[in-house]
Amino acid sequence: MHLTDKDLQRFKSLLLNLKAALLEAGETGQQAEEVVELDQTRVGRLSRMDAMQAQAMSLETGRRRRQQLVKIEASLELIRAGDYGDCLECGEAINPGRLEADPTATFCIQCAEAKE
């Protein structure tokens, strides 16, 4: 079952909304990724350790956000090319329910399971 034009527009809109939300979150998260100051006269050792842990978590969140943006761009390109919703492995249609759960999915459930 291939996606209708209405479905494609809905998924495109969903992807663009996800992209906008990730870009907005990225702007607010950049400050948390900045280098932690190591001046013990201003910040105690435990506070500095907490700040370093928070920075590490922010860096990982930023990495995942950038990775998701790449997947979103790839999905938008597939829509432009007319290949969105087709499994990149077997070429069969990806279940629309799977695309609802993850609009960046590029493999049908059988191929995704085989890859794991």
Q: What is the pLDDT of residues 58-113, one digit of tens each?
A: 889 989 999 999 999 999 999 999 999 999 999 999 999 999 999 999 999 999 99
Query: Would you say residue 25 has pLDDT above 70?
Result: yes
pLDDT (tens digit, 9 = 90+) per residue, 48-62? Answer: 777 778 878 888 998
What is this structure's pTM? 0.77
How far CA 72 is from CA of 41, 53, 107, in Å, comes to 45, 29, 14
**Domain region containing 23:** 5-115
Specify the number of domains making up the chain.
1
Q: What is the CATH number of the domain that holds 26?
A: 1.20.120.910
C-alpha–C-alpha distance, residues 100 and 12, integer Å: 12
